[in-house]
């Protein structure tokens, strides 16, 4: 089975404008979605990220602490899952609850380890 990373982008503003109760319900949806993937033994792991960004520019000298990218391009987190095909992974990603809160999901195949 191949591994895929789902990158969740944007949606931070929507999150910030919701009440704690709404946020809690939203996180239950995440739990249900990831829970189902885990039940099929296809979940590997993942993390949520804070929106603050520092970018080290090429060359490694200049540091920008304000992202030039738009808010909707900021990666808010990722998870890694197992799937047989790119299409299967893409279908899986469509269940992400963040999509309802203006996040987008980028599906990427993980480069396998060299034998």
Partner 1 sequence: MENRDHIDTTLNHLFRQESGKMVAVLIKIFGTENIEMAEDVVQDALVSALETWKFRGIPDNPKAWLYRTARNKAIDIIRRKKHSKTIDFSDPQKQLLTSGYTLKTTMNNFWEEHQIQDDFLGMMYACCHPDISQENQITFILKSLCGFSTKEVAKSFLTSEDTISKRLYRTKEYFRKHKIRPEIPNKSAIVPRTEAVLSAIYLMFNEGYNSTNADQLIRKDLIGQAMLLCRSLLSVERTKLPEVYALMALMCFHAARVDSRVTTEGSLVLLSKQDRTKWDIALIQSGQDYLNRASFGDRLTMYHLEAAIAYEHCQAKYYVDTDWNKILEYYDLLLDIANDPIVFLNRSLVILELKGPKEALKVLDKLKNNKLLENYYVYHATLGEVYYRLSDPTLSKVHYEKALQLTQSKWEQQFLKDKIDSKR
| List of residues contacting partner 1 (CB under 8 A) | 24, 27-28, 30-31, 34-35, 38-39, 41, 43, 45-48, 77, 79
Q: Which is nearer to partner 1, 24 or 73 (CB)?
A: 24
| Gap between the terminal Cα atoms of the chain | 15
Smallest gap from residue 32 Cβ to partner 1 (A): 9
d(CA 69, CA 88): 30
10 bridge partner residues: none
CB of 45 vs partner 1, minimal distance in Å:
6
Q: Give Cα 108 to chain centroid, integer Å.
A: 11
Which residue lies nearer to partner 1 by CB, 20 or 58? 20
The runs of H, that is alpha helices, within the chain are: 12-16, 20-39, 86-93
* Smallest distance from partner 1 to CB 56, Å: 24
Please say which residue, 45 or 58, places its beta carbon nearer to partner 1: 45
């Amino acid at each position: 089975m191949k591994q895929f990373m789902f990158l969740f982008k944007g949606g931070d503003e929507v999150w910030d404008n919701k009440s704690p109760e709404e946020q809690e319900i939203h996180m239950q949806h995440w739990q249900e979605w990831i829970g189902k993937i885990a039940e099929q033994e296809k979940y590997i792991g993942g993390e949520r990220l804070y929106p603050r960004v520092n970018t080290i520019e090429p060359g490694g000298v200049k540091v920008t602490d304000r992202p030039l990218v738009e808010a909707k391009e900021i990666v808010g987190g990722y998870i890694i899952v197992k799937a047989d095909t790119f299409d299967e992974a893409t279908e899986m990603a469509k269940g992400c609850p963040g999509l309802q809160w203006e996040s987008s999901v980028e599906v990427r195949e993980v480069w396998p380890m060299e034998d």
